[in-house]
Structure 1
Amino acid sequence: MLLDCCRSSSESWVLLGSAGIPIWDWSSVCVVLLFTVLQMVLYYLPVGQVAEGKMGCDGKHLKYKLNGLYAFLLTVVLLLVLWFGGVLRAGAVMDKIFSLVTAGMAISLIFSLVLFLCPIRTPSSAHVTYDSTAKPLLKFALGQSMDPHLGIIDIKHFVMVRIGFIGWAMMDLNYLLTSVEMKNWSLSLLLVIVFQLIYILDFLIDEGSVLTTKEFTEEPIGFIMILGEFIWIPFFSSLPVYFLLQRPNSIHFLSAVPICLLFGIGFLIYYLSNEQKDGFRKNPNDPAYARLNTIRSPAGSSLLVSGWFGWVRHPNYLGDILMMFAWCLPCGFTSVLPYLPALQCFQLLRKRANEIEESCLKKHREAWREYCRRVPYKLLPYVY
């Protein structure tokens, strides 16, 4: 529906069947399946480090193959070879955007059903325990296993990184090639694509950061998570780019300067605060953090109350939000559609910040209350 709304008002609706564009196409199913199989094969690349994640049910740390950056680069090379060789026409892929979405939905459903009905053998302690009144549909939607594996492939890691983020990058690059074919590229379109690719590349370079996220460590994998990685991340996150292809918006070079500054400031806040958080967590005695003020917690750890985390309680989330609003601004203000991913991100991060703070209060008790007193703002200084 959101993709359909991005189309020009002079064009017919696709979902009402009046535009003549199919919303189901077997070639689109083949494209999604081939992309999924390719990422599974690339997961076995003998490059990249093997990182330890959370503690498994057997008392040992789970291990993950972190070669997403190499998988991404090889996928990009393959895409460009097919395009320059004339085998692939990017515009033809974009013409099938609606059938690609429905194909992703169908494959997500089948994938989730297989995982639910024929669960991969894992110890019972690795399964999620639901209340006795929980319906099978709830277990199917949320998942019943925390860390299912298929060979060396951790399924949760695979769908989050390889399907979600690499799929998002492939949609952006396909949109870029489409604009080249249509000779319809613009500064606004280039800004959005470059910003998003920088964000994706940073994530893939620091792929291990996903191993400590709440979704990865505390939530099972079910239909909602799988559907989100096949559909929400690749197609919804790239909505501003699709919008600009359908409704071009020209901006002056001088207008691009403050937009680039906003993205750059957001990226620096995001990157440097995450670096400070991860470095302090790994080695709080590092001389680099000697000048930072801390509060000793009853849990045995220390809370930062200066540096980035003395400014707001979740500076990495603030950087995330600024970057996402920056890559929406080139779309102009004629519609709220391209801003929906940024608004949804703000709501998601606001909710996640509240969940983290509830968990921190239980863990650190009075030390956390003192931290909140000294750092009163969650996301926006002097605002929220």
Structure 2
Amino acid sequence: MTPLLTLLYEGCRPQDARWALLGDTTMPYWDWTMLLVVFAYTAMQAALYYLPFGQVEHRGKDEDGQVLRYNINGLHAFVISSALLVGMWSGGVFQACRITGRIYSLVCACYVLSFLIATLLYLHSFKKQPFSQTGPLLRDFALGKDINHRVFGIDMKHFFMVRIGFMGWGMVITCYLLAEIEKDGRVSLPMLLVVTFQLLYIVEFLLDEASVLPTKEFTQDGIGFLMIQGEYIYIPFYSSTAAFFLLQRPVQISLPSVFLICLLYGAGFAIYYISNGQKNCFRKNPSDPAFAGLRTILSPSGQNLLVSGWFGWVRHPNYLGDIMMTWAWTLPCGFSSVLPYIPAVVCTNMLRERANEIEEACEEKHGEAWKEYCRRVPYQLLPNIY
């Protein structure tokens, strides 16, 4: 992942001498200060995990039969973190350019810290499972040995997914926006679109934070180096490539283009939000009167499969909405370079592959009922196309 990030950032190199105002134009690969920044952010989020706000979810049990407890207060922690960041910037204590001008160092610091944390969690896992019962060392280190690894009452997977991945993404794009103000004295329309779209996506995720708990990634996958590195690097930096590109290569955008991009994002957001809401509510209470008019198929597993509503349109409408939003916050970059579009292409392919994985699992679980569903709803993502 790091070589790909290097390619992206090299392709975004500024052509404007004003960039010298932002500090290092050489983008140093290592700065001990950035390691302290990442460590401090991680420690702060660990402390905010114990905020007496939000709600508490109880899902599943650990090896000892104890019910697992999750603090669902990510939105509160995000508001506090964002207010602290903007407040320090407004008071002159913090300069966003000190972060954005050392992105290589920040990414490398995240890589180092994620490696150290993964190593500590791997060693800690031997308290539960003797070495003789483990699998290949490299595989266990990369993919993780435990699914529900907890330290001081904090579920590590939940912590890294929400506090480091999504909230870190929000912190990074906020720094890009503040750095543009430092550089140009204003916020450009393309940057405003990108940051607004991504912040709305992040806030929506945090509003429905508990929805991550029943997902396949959360309930079946281990927590190892690959997962931790992805939350420290892939989500915050790779996902924010469009904002970084605009910070260094500003573009102009016409009002008709703004309207069309907003329309694309709005439609994607509506599809994503409403279809996810329908899916989650149906899972919790299939007999809810709100679903009385929807057609279903009874599965041998005892569950019902929706074959109307959003999931009668395509089989994965939530992924379609996700893809539309990703392209909407990339289009403000214009077409002077292909580089800011790489994350959108990768995201589209990743969600397509994830849809295939889900369908394989559903066919194994639901058998003929799933085949009948696919017959009635023949398209995965795009009606009449794919």
Same fold by TM-score, threshold 0.5 exceeded? yes
* Deviation at residue 59 of structure 1 after TM alignment: 4.2
TM-score, reference length from structure 1: 0.93
State how far apart, in whole Å, the 1-side matches of 2:237 and 2:315 are.
31
1:255 match? 257
State how far apart, in whole Å, the 1-side matches of 2:58 and 2:191 are.
39
Q: Deviations over 1:280-328 (max 9, x none)?
A: 1111111100000000111101000000000000000000000000000
Are 1:54 and 1:211, in contact at CA under 8 Å, matched by a contact in 2?
no
| Change in 2 beyond 3 A, CA 1:231/1:264 | same
Counterparts of 1:56-135 in structure 2 under 5 Å? 56-119=62-125, 121-122=127-128, 135=136
3-state SS in 2 of match to 1:118: helix
2:230 match? 228
Give the AA of the match of 2:298.
Answer: R
3-state SS in 2 of match to 1:212: coil
Q: Deviations over 1:359-380 (max 9, x none)?
A: 1111110110000000000111
* Deviation at residue 252 of structure 1 after TM alignment: 1.3
TM-score, reference length from structure 2: 0.93
Are 2:27 and 2:103, in contact at CA under 8 Å, matched by a contact in 1?
no
Give the AA of the match of 2:383.
Answer: P
Are 1:122 and 1:148, in contact at CA under 8 Å, matched by a contact in 2?
no
2:34 match? 28
Are 1:120 and 1:148, in contact at CA under 8 Å, matched by a contact in 2?
no
1:239 match? 241
State how far apart, in whole Å, the 1-side matches of 2:257 and 2:302 are.
50
State how far apart, in whole Å, the 1-side matches of 2:205 and 2:187 are.
26
Counterparts of 1:103-252 in structure 2 under 5 Å? 103-119=109-125, 121-122=127-128, 135-183=136-184, 185-252=187-254
3-state SS in 2 of match to 1:371: helix
3-state SS in 2 of match to 1:295: strand
Give the AA of the match of 1:244.
Answer: L
Give the AA of the match of 1:139.
Answer: D
Are 2:143 and 2:227, in contact at CA under 8 Å, matched by a contact in 1?
yes
3-state SS in 1 of match to 2:57: strand
State how far apart, in whole Å, the 1-side matches of 2:284 and 2:26 are.
56
3-state SS in 2 of match to 1:249: coil
**Where does the alignment leave 5 or more consecutive residues of structure 2 unmatched?**
1-5, 18-23
**Where does the alignment leave 5 or more consecutive residues of structure 1 unmatched?**
12-17
| Change in 2 beyond 3 A, CA 1:35/1:314 | same
| Change in 2 beyond 3 A, CA 1:362/1:55 | farther
Q: Say yes or no: does 1:5 pair with 2:14.
A: no
3-state SS in 2 of match to 1:322: helix
* Deviation at residue 337 of structure 1 after TM alignment: 1.2
- Equivalent of residue 325 in structure 2, options 298, 323, 326: 323
* Deviation at residue 121 of structure 1 after TM alignment: 4.1
| Change in 2 beyond 3 A, CA 1:120/1:157 | farther
2:3 match? none
Are 1:120 and 1:150, in contact at CA under 8 Å, matched by a contact in 2?
no
State how far apart, in whole Å, the 1-side matches of 2:63 and 2:355 are.
27
Equivalent pairs counted in the alignment come to: 372
2:344 match? 342
Range with greater deviation from structure 2 (321-330 or 109-118): 109-118
3-state SS in 2 of match to 1:53: strand
Are 2:300 and 2:369, in contact at CA under 8 Å, matched by a contact in 1?
yes
Root mean square deviation of aligned Cα: 1.8
Range with greater deviation from structure 2 (86-95 or 134-143): 134-143
1:14 match? none
* Deviation at residue 73 of structure 1 after TM alignment: 0.4
State how far apart, in whole Å, the 2-side matches of 1:205 and 1:381 are.
29
1:295 match? 297
1:380 match? 382
State how far apart, in whole Å, the 2-side matches of 1:276 and 1:208 are.
15
State how far apart, in whole Å, the 1-side matches of 2:64 and 2:361 are.
25
3-state SS in 2 of match to 1:79: helix
| Change in 2 beyond 3 A, CA 1:20/1:311 | closer
Q: Deviations over 1:258-281 (max 9, x none)?
A: 100100000000000011101111
Q: Deviations over 1:170-229 (max 9, x none)?
A: 001111111111125211110000000000000001100111221111100000000000
Are 2:100 and 2:176, in contact at CA under 8 Å, matched by a contact in 1?
yes
Give the AA of the match of 2:91.
Answer: G
